[in-house]
Structure 1
């Protein structure tokens, strides 16, 4: 379904990974927020948002990532984005998010 995004939470040795697949937009952003809140709730040392299988993210999705980043920072949790596809990396770069949030290519 186009209005569903797969968000998998994987907890391992102090790192919680939120893997996003498909497209994050106004129809799917609530699922991303919920996944980030669940990741924050376990208070890991680090949250990694895996973007390898994400094909698109809009401004609402960027807002959700900023929300997660700010909440993690305030809780002393490392927060990073990992492996964005070329189009998603371009959007992150244009948004200025890469200047604030750590990214692993």
Structure 2
């Protein structure tokens, strides 16, 4: 499950539950909506995300690359311990900003 909220400075994409091959399209749509909002920052809120697979990681990388191309700050916020481990193992933490 995803939701997108925009204010004048940032767009928050909140991910809940699991992101896998069955749900990744919702994440892609949410990231496209966030990119279309033309805010200065996109924050992907991971506090309620329990699992993400390689397709979900690919969607995050796509969102990060598109944001960078448009000069939009992109960061991940509040990953749970298990999601943080997946992000670390994938190498994503080396390129994408993560905040508590």
Q: Distance in 2 between matches of 1:103 and 1:12?
A: 20
Deviation beyond 3 Å, 4+ runs, structure 1:
none
TM-score by length of 1: 0.94
Aligned residues: 100
Give ranges in structure 1 of 5+ residues lacking alignment.
1-5
2:79 to 42, 63, 84: 84
The 3-state SS of whatever aligns with 2:71 is coil
**What RMSD, in angstroms, separates the aligned Cα atoms of the two structures?**
0.5
1:1-105, aligned counterparts within 5 Å? 6-105=1-100
Aligned-partner Cα distance in 1 for 2:23–2:62? 15
| Structure 2: gaps (5+ residues) | none
